[in-house]
Amino acid sequence: MQDFHVHTGHFKGKLYFSPEEVAEGMKALSVERYYFSSTSTGSVPFSEVRHEIEELISLSEGRAVPFLWVTPDMLEDSPDLSAYFFRDFVGIKIHGYHHDWDPYGEPLRRVLAIARDKNLPVMFHTGGCERSDAGVYMNICREFPDVRIILAHGRPIDECVAVMKECPNAWADIAFMGVKNIVRLRDEGLIGRVLWGSDFPVMRCFYDIPPDEYYRKRVEEVREALGGEDFSRITQDNFTL
């Protein structure tokens, strides 16, 4: 099983998801490979972010692979982002809700051009406000058809479906996505571009049950709703990054 959406770092100034917590949690849940980024990005010096990333990779026994979370300030500081590629990242994370990215502005298009040149996927957080809803990324998906773009959370689902149907390079991960919306992606013929994502361990900010208990319950709910074959597709077969 693989997980496309995992985090380490400070969250909303209140909690800290330590590399140890994440590494131990993913191992206990038998997640073979997980893609992660640091929620500390933009709120602490980048040296701390770098330390978190390196520590989680070191602790993960080969399971953790990093995405580089990019902020507008980072792009302004290093227009080609070379100052921040201190290792071989497997993708770029953009959070248009927490950071003020124009969804089709020149800075974001520059990030996509960097991703294209490096042959990296880009994950967009979707939902929370108009500038980060899935539909606003239609134009950038069209302009960069050779960049795989993952609409994390797939919110709102109608917009996510519309973008995925229009743009073959658009994917979705299902972190915090309602089960009925996951089933809808399957019924719309899009299951081949859907990835398991959990946002682990962010769920401990929203639910009273422990993150590992939430995770196991979520696995069973989604497996039951999709059936074994499609569950295997979103948790393993579709992971061709």
pTM: 0.95
- Please report the pLDDT score of residue 205 as a whole number: 79
pLDDT in tens, the chain (241 residues): 999 999 999 987 778 999 999 999 999 999 999 999 999 999 999 999 999 999 999 999 999 999 999 999 999 999 999 999 999 999 999 999 989 999 999 999 999 999 999 999 999 999 989 999 999 999 999 999 999 999 999 999 999 999 999 999 999 999 999 999 999 999 999 999 999 999 999 988 788 889 999 999 999 999 999 999 999 999 999 998 7
| Contact between residue 37 and residue 49 where contact means Cβ atoms under 8 Å apart | no
Amino acid making up residue 149: I
In the beta sheet, which residues pair with residue 7?
A: 37
Burial class (CB in 10 A: 0-12, 13-18, 19+), 138: middle
Query: Are the beta carbons of 172 and 195 closer than 8 angstroms?
Result: yes
Question: Domain coordinates of the chain in residue numbers?
Answer: 2-237
- The span from the CA of 225 to the CA of 143, in Å, is 35
Beta strands 15-17 and 2-11, pairing class: antiparallel
DSSP per residue over 191-220, as a string?
Answer: GGGEE----BTGGGGT-SS-HHHHHHHHHH
The pLDDT assigned to 76 comes to: 97
Neighbour-count burial of 13, counting CB atoms closer than 10 A to its CB (0-12 exposed, 13-18 middle, 19+ buried): exposed
pLDDT of residue 208: 82
Instruction: Say if domain 2-237 classifies as CATH 3.40.50.300.
Output: no
What pLDDT score does 53 carry?
98
pLDDT at position 98 is 84
